[in-house]
C-alpha cells in the first residue's frame, strides 16, 4: 500500500502517520511507502517502510502531483486552512480549501488507477444549533466560509467518484478534542482548552454555559475512522460519499466532570466562567448532535470512547509534548 | 438600474433581455443600461436604454469584470455548459460552471456596492426520482457533473452573500419547456421535443412511458421569476439563498393531452413511442416534484400556468422563429 497524507504535518496527519508507522500494515496489507506533504516538509519518523517528506502548496497542481505519484493507493487529504483563518481571509480559504481540493482531484485523476481518497469535511458545514440532531440526509447549509468550502470539496470528490476518477469517503469530523499545543483563534478553541489548560496547571475561560453541547470526537477515534475509511468497501456508499461518523454529543458540564474525575477537583477549579456572546453566536449555529446511523450500521465506523477516556488519552499521548512545546 | 446578463445570448437570457427592453423598467425603476455577455457577443436589440453587447469567456476574470462595471445593480448569471456537455467534457464543465461562477463572485466583490445576483441552479442538482416530492430543505445529491457544479455555485454565492460581497438568489429551475430551435443532446431534450416537433409538423420519439412525470416550467414563467428575484427583498432569505420555485409536476401523457387540446389530435399522433432505457435512467433520477412552499408563501414567486397555456405561448412566442431557424 502506497499512501500519501496531504497536510501530513498537522495535528491529525501526524497522528495518522505515527499509527501507520507502528502498524506497518493497512487493512492487512503491508505499507510500502508513505508520503507526507505539508506547507513545510514535515519531519520524518521511524517506520518499517520508506517515508518521503515534501514541502509545497496544496493549491499548486504540480506540487500535489509530485506528492501523489503513480502507484498511490490511498490519499488522505487533510490540508486546509481552518475556520477562523478562512473567515478572516476569504481568498486564502478559497485558494487552499477549494483550489487545493481541485488540485487533489486532478492529481488523482491523472493516476493509472483511481486511488481511495479520504477527505475530512466538518460539522461546520452544517447549521442546526443546540437543539439539532441531524439525520444522515441532512442538508449542508454552512454559516461560515470554511464550512462552505468543505461542502464544496465533498461535492467535487463525490462527483469525481461517480466518474471513476477516484474513490472518495468524505468524513464530516466532529470537533476533535483534546487538541495539543496552544489555544488557537478557532471559535471552538475553548472546547479543547477547558480540558488541556487545566491539565497543564493553567487557568482558562469558558465562554458558554455549562449546559452547552458540542459534537466531539477524540484524535484516537478520528485516526481509527481514517484507517477504516482508507480500506472499507465503498460500493454500498453509492452516490452519497458523505459519512457523519458516530461522535458524541457532550455538554461542557459533562466534559468538566470527566476532567475532575480523571485529574481531580483542583483541575476543574482552573476553569473560570467568562461568557462570550460572540463565541456562543458562532459555535451555537453548529449542530450539537447527529444520528450517524449510516456510519454505524452500514459501514462499521467505531463508537467514540467515553469523555474520561478522552482526558486520559491526552495525558498519555500529548501532555508531555505539549508541556515541552510550551516550555512549561 | 444597471443590469448585466451573463449568458445573455442563450435561450432564457435573450427572453429576459427582450422583456426588459419592452418594459424599460425593473421593480418600478427605469433601466439605465443593459450589458449582454456571451461567448460570442449577442446581437443587440431595440430598447429604451443603452445596450452593450460583449463577447468573452465567463471563466476569464478580466472579461467578466468588463461585463460587470462599477454601478451595476443586478447581475443575472445564466452562462453555463449544460448537462450532457458537462458530462462529456468534465474539464469544460469545471471551467465554465465552477471557475466561471468564481469569476462572477470576484467581479461582484470588486464593485463599490454589492449587486443583486440571480443565479440559475437546476433540478438536476437533486436526486429523488419519480416518487419524490422534495421539501425546501432537501439535500442536493447530484447524480451528474452539471448538477454538482450548480450546487457548488450555489454554495459559493450563498457564502459570498453572507459575507456581504453580493446579494444572491439561487433559483433551482425546473426543466424549461418548450425550448425553441433544434433538439439537443440533453437527456431532457425530449420533454420539449415531444411538443415542439409536432407543432412544426415533424415526427418525434418519446423515450419514456406516458406516466413519466417531469418537474417543468415555461420560459415566460422563468422570466417572471427572474424579474421577481432581481428586486425582491432578500432579507428574509437569511443564510439560505436557494429557491425551489413553484414549477409544475406533469406526466408526459398530460403534456401530450395539452398538445392535442391546443393543436389537435394530428399533432399528438406525430409522437411515437420509442423506449430508451439509457435516457430514462438519467432523467429518472431527477425529482419529479417539489413542495416549493418557501418560494410561494414567503417570497411571492408566481404560479406556473397550465400546460395548454405553455403550448399556446410557444406558438405565439417562438414557433415562427423556430421555423425560420430550421428552414421549415
Ligand atoms: N481538528 C478538528 O477539530 C477538525 C474538525 C473538523 C474537520 N477537521 C479537518 O481535518 C483536517 C485535519 O485537521 P487538523 O486538526 O489536523 O488540522 P491542522 O491545521 O493541524 O492540519 C492541517 C495541515 O494543513 C496544512 N496546510 C494548510 N495550508 C496548506 C497549504 N496551502 N498547502 C499545504 N498544506 C497546508 C497545515 O500546515 C497543517 O499542517 C483539516 O482538513 C480540518 O479542516 C478538523
Ligand atoms: N433551460 C432549462 O431547461 C434550464 C433548466 C435548469 C437550469 N437552467 C440554467 O439556466 C441558465 C440558462 O439556461 P438556457 O436554457 O438559457 O441555457 P443556454 O444554453 O441557452 O444559454 C446559456 C448561455 O451560456 C453561454 N455560455 C456557455 N459557455 C460560456 C462561456 N464559457 N462563456 C460565456 N458564455 C458561455 C452559451 O453560449 C449560452 O448562450 C443556464 O445556466 C442553465 O444551466 C436551464
Residue-wise pLDDT for A229-266, tens only, equals 999 999 999 999 999 999 999 999 999 999 999 999 99
Q: Supply φ then ψ for residue A31, to 5 degrees.
A: -80, 125
Report the C-alpha gap between B223 and B5 in whole angstroms. Answer: 12
ipTM exceeding cut-off 0.90 for this assembly: yes
Task: Give the span between the Cα atoms of A9 and B4, in whole angstroms.
Answer: 46
Q: Where does residue A245 fall: left (phi above 0), alpha (psi -120 to 50 degrees), or beta otherwise?
A: beta
Q: State the distance between the two ends of chain B, measured CA to CA, in whole angstroms.
A: 40
Nearest to B159 among A145, A155, A239 (CB): A145
Taking the CA of residue B153 and the nearest CA in chain A, the distance in Å comes to 9
**Mean local confidence (pLDDT), B50-68:** 98
- For B152, the closest chain A residue by CA position comes to A152
User: How many angstroms separate the CA atoms of A260 and A272, rounded?
Assistant: 14
Domains of chain A and CATH, by start: 2-175+217-243 (3.40.50.720)
- Pick the catalytic residue from B37, B146, B165, B286: B146
Residues in CB range of A258: below 8 A, 6 or more apart: A195, A306, A307, A308, A310, A311
Q: Is B146 a catalytic residue?
A: yes
Given a cut of 80, is residue A185 above it in pLDDT?
no
* B299-325 residue pLDDT tens: 999 999 999 999 999 999 999 999 999
Mutation for testing the B interface, residue in A98, A139, A162 having most B CBs under 10 Å: A139
* Residue tagged 401530450 (cell numbers): B256
Which pLDDT score, from 0 to 100, does residue A282 have?
81
Residue A193 C-alpha cell reads as 482548552
Question: Over pLDDT 70: what percentage of chain B?
Answer: 100
Q: How confident is the model at residue A278 (pLDDT cuts 50, 70, 90)?
A: confident
Under 8 Å CB-to-CB from A302, ≥6 apart: which residues?
Answer: A221, A224, A225, A228, A246
What is residue B41's predicted lDDT score, i.e. its pLDDT?
98
Report residue B258's pLDDT band, with 50, 70 and 90 as the boundaries: very high
Closest CA to B84 of B150, B154, B144, B151: B144
| Residues of A with Cβ-Cβ distance to B138 under 8 angstroms | 139
CB contact under 8 A, A90 and B163: yes
**Disruptive mutation site among B105, B139, B290 for chain A (greatest number of A CBs within 10 Å):** B139
- Residue B185's pLDDT is 72
Assign A40 a pLDDT band (cuts: 50, 70, 90). very high
B102 vs A90: CB contact, 8 Å cut-off? no
Predicted structure pTM score: 0.98
Amino acid at each position: 500500500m502506497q499512501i500519501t497524507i496531504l497536510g501530513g504535518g498537522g495535528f491529525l496527519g501526524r497522528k495518522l502517520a505515527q499509527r501507520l508507522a507502528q502498524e506497518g500494515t493497512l487493512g492487512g496489507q503491508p505499507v510500502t511507502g508513505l508520503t507526507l506533504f505539508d506547507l513545510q516538509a514535515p519531519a520524518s519518523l521511524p517506520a518499517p517502510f520508506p517515508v518521503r517528506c515534501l514541502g509545497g502548496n496544496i493549491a499548486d497542481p504540480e506540487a500535489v502531483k509530485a506528492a501523489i505519484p503513480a502507484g498511490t493507493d490511498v490519499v488522505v487529504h487533510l490540508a486546509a486552512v481552518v475556520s477562523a483563518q478562512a473567515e478572516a481571509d476569504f481568498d486564502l480559504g478559497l485558494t487552499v480549501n477549494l483550489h487545493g481540493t481541485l488540485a487533489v482531484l486532478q492529481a488523482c485523476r491523472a493516476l493509472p488507477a483511481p486511488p481511495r481518497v479520504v477527505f475530512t469535511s466538518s460539522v461546520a458545514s452544517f447549521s442546526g444549533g443546540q437543539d439539532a440532531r441531524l439525520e444522515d440526509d441532512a442538508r449542508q447549509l454552512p454559516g461560515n466560509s470554511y464550512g462552505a468550502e468543505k461542502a464544496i470539496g465533498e461535492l467535487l470528490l463525490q462527483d469525481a467518484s461517480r466518474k471513476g476518477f477516484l474513490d472518495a469517503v468524505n468524513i464530516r469530523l466532529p470537533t476533535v478534542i483534546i487538541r495539543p499545543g496552544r489555544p488557537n483563534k478557532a471559535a471552538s478553541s475553548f472546547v479543547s482548552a477547558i480540558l488541556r489548560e487545566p491539565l497543564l496547571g493553567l487557568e482558562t475561560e469558558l465562554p458558554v454555559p455549562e449546559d452547552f453541547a458540542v459534537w466531539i470526537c477524540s484524535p484516537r477515534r478520528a485516526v481509527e475512522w481514517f484507517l477504516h475509511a482508507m480500506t472499507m468497501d465503498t460500493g454500498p456508499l453509492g452516490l452519497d460519499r458523505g459519512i457523519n461518523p458516530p461522535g458524541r454529543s457532550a455538554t461542557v458540564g459533562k466534559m468538566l466532570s470527566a476532567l475532575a474525575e480523571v485529574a481531580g477537583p483542583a483541575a476543574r477549579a482552573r476553569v473560570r466562567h467568562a461568557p462570550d456572546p460572540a463565541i456562543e453566536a458562532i459555535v451555537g449555529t453548529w449542530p450539537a448532535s447527529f444520528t450517524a446511523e449510516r456510519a454505524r450500521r452500514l459501514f462499521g465506523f467505531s463508537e467514540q470512547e467515553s469523555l474520561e477516556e478522552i482526558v486520559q488519552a491526552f495525558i498519555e499521548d500529548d501532555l508531555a509534548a505539549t508541556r515541552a512545546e510550551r516550555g512549561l
